[in-house]
């Protein structure tokens, strides 16, 4: 009996506590202020041969990082030898140098736990190194020779050409990537450098002499900005090492081929590739902005609200969350010296593809018709501003950013004023930017999928040009 009474009292007490908790007032959390972050400046020097260097000491770990930013890129290929810039970059280290054979480089780097890498982008080349500070001189000797004196070993050249040819044969294995690549190609045109792609015949046409000439023209000290950070005694020590290593490397004139103006027509063009796949991949692409256009700040906020803000964006909320029409949907914009592009992507079911596409077009239109809410504006601005600090996880990444922005011609205070400019964005400026840039009625659409399963003909959205997969 006593046990029964005890259980009843305990249960009753528990219920009272539970009932009280249901009506408890949650404590108010203090409002967090936007992150205040001013990027460290580092130091900027010019070597005797004209090479610009950004340096920032960082003794956190016994590591030194260096990255050379070169004003070159895929846009400087020639139409008959598309892929030349990439092969040149690939073989800077792997093709050996005057002092080191390819296998010697690999052996030294492996033994030291160091790395040297090179890659190429549309308008930039990069050669980077990372090593323990105690191994700096040994690794930097290789790195400087890679930059100055690559020899492009014949066997390695053949190997990389074969790998590139295999990549061409398999480039359509991933239809989502295929849709994005081909959309940009059709947008700029197959005959414009922004629309070029490597082909078997353009790779086969490339020889060692082409690589030497490309390197000789673009890889010059006065065409390079170096980012350096790590565990060293002082800047003087690093500068002495750099000046000594690059003392024989003379500056010279760089011949930049003239890039033709991109002729982008403002009209609805639809391109379609028939492919028997489970999903349908949709790309909406339209004319964007030129680099250095100040409209990039309100446009960044507009894009964040439209499709760049992950789960907070309108495209994700309307197409994925509410309607369950897609797993992946997003937007972004790319800047160019000539006009860039504004891009939206969606992977969806063929049976409901038209609903997803209609909603994409609708959301683009709404951005230019109605003012975004104050809540949307604040969330987007806070997200962009607060994430700014995470662009620089290390002092080295900050030096890389400063080097890259100078390479692309930005003002020296661009990074320092970035959050201030973003904070100035208003509802009106977002609407103005959207009205000026977003143009869904004249956007190009690129679709890959199985049309037999489409819920509506693609021609519902305009005249369709059917392309063969190649």
Give residue-wise pLDDT tens across range 178-230.
999 999 999 999 999 999 999 999 999 999 999 999 999 999 999 999 999 99
Tell me how far apart the alpha carbons of residues 10 and 5 are, in angstroms, rounded to a whole number. Answer: 9
pLDDT, tens digit (0-9, with 9 covering 90-100), for 125-149 = 999 999 999 999 999 999 999 999 9
Strand extents, DSSP E, 305-403: 326-334, 341-348
What is the structure's pLDDT at 267? 86
What is the structure's pLDDT at 12? 43
What is the structure's pLDDT at 35? 54
pLDDT, tens digit (0-9, with 9 covering 90-100), for 378-419 = 999 999 999 988 888 999 999 999 999 999 999 999 999 999
What is the structure's pLDDT at 17? 36
How many of the other CB atoms lie within 10 Å of CB of 358?
A: 15
Tell me how far apart the alpha carbons of residues 236 and 45 are, in angstroms, rounded to a whole number. Answer: 11
Buried b (16+ CB within 10 A) or exposed e, 230-242: bbbeebeebbebb
Whole-model pTM: value is 0.89
- SS3 for 251-297 is CCCCCCCCCCCCCCCCCCCEEEEECCCCCEEEEEEEECCECCCCCHH
Tell me how far apart the alpha carbons of residues 202 and 82 are, in angstroms, rounded to a whole number. Answer: 5
pLDDT, tens digit (0-9, with 9 covering 90-100), for 259-294 = 999 888 888 999 999 999 999 999 999 999 999 999
Mean pLDDT of the chain: 92
Angle, CA 306 vertex, CA 367 and CA 333 arms, to 5°: 105
What domains appear along the chain, each with residue ranges and CATH number?
43-245 (3.30.830.10), 270-467 (3.30.830.10)
Segment 452-461 mean pLDDT: 98
Pair type for strands 444-449 and 270-274? parallel
Tell me how far apart the alpha carbons of residues 124 and 93 are, in angstroms, rounded to a whole number. Answer: 17
How many of the other CB atoms lie within 10 Å of CB of 106?
A: 14
Which is nearest to 271 in space by CA: 188, 364, 359, 363?
A: 188
Residue that is written with structure tokens 């409901």 in the block: 352
Strand extents, DSSP E, 115-269: 115-120, 125-132, 224-230
What is the structure's pLDDT at 197? 97
Instruction: Please determine, for residue 18, whether its predicted confidence score (pLDDT) is greater than 50.
Output: no
């Amino acid at each position: 009996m006593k046990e029964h009474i005890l259980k009843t009292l305990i249960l009753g007490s528990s219920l009272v506590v539970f009932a009280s908790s249901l009506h408890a007032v949650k404590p108010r959390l203090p409002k967090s202020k936007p992150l205040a972050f001013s990027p460290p400046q580092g130091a900027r020097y010019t070597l005797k041969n004209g090479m610009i260097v950004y340096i920032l000491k960082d003794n956190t770990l016994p590591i030194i990082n260096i990255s050379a930013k070169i004003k070159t890129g895929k846009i400087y290929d020639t139409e008959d030898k598309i892929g030349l810039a990439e092969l040149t970059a690939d073989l800077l280290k792997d093709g050996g140098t005057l002092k080191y054979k390819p296998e010697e480089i690999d052996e030294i780097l492996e033994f030291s736990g160091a790395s040297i890498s090179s890659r190429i982008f549309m308008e930039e080349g990069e050669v980077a190194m990372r090593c323990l500070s105690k191994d700096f001189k040994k690794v930097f000797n290789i790195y400087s020779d890679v930059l100055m004196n690559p020899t492009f070993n014949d066997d390695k050249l053949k190997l990389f050409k074969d790998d590139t040819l295999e990549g061409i044969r398999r480039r359509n294995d991933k239809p989502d990537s295929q849709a994005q690549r081909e959309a940009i190609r059709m947008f700029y045109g197959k005959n414009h450098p922004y629309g070029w792609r490597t082909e078997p015949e353009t790779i086969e046409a490339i020889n060692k002499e082409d690589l030497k000439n490309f390197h000789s023209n673009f890889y010059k000290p006065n065409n390079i900005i170096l980012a350096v950070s790590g565990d060293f005694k002082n800047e003087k020590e690093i500068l002495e090492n750099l000046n000594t290593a690059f003392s024989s490397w003379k500056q010279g004139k760089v011949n930049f081929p003239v890039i033709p103006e991109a002729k982008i027509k403002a009209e609805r063009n639809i391109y379609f590739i028939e492919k028997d796949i489970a999903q349908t991949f949709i790309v909406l692409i339209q004319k964007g902005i030129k680099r250095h256009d100040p409209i990039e700040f309100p446009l960044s906020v507009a894009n964040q609200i439209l499709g760049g803000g992950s789960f907070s964006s309108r495209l994700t909320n309307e197409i994925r969350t509410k309607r369950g029409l897609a797993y992946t949907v997003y937007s972004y914009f790319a800047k160019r010296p000539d006009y860039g592009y504004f891009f939206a992507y969606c992977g969806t079911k063929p049976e409901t593809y038209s609903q997803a596409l209609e909603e994409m077009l609708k959301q683009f239109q709404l951005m230019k018709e109605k003012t975004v809410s104050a809540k949307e504006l604040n969330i987007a601005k806070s997200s962009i501003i607060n994430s700014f600090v995470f662009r620089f996880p290390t002092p080295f990444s900050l030096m890389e950013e400063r080097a890259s922005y100078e390479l692309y011609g930005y003002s020296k205070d661009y990074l320092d004023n970035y959050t201030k400019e973003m904070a100035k964005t208003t509802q009106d400026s977002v609407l103005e930017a959207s009205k000026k840039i977003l143009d869904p009625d004249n956007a190009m659409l690129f679709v890959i999928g199985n049309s037999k399963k489409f819920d509506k003909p693609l021609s519902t959205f305009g005249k369709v040009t059917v392309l063969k997969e190649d």
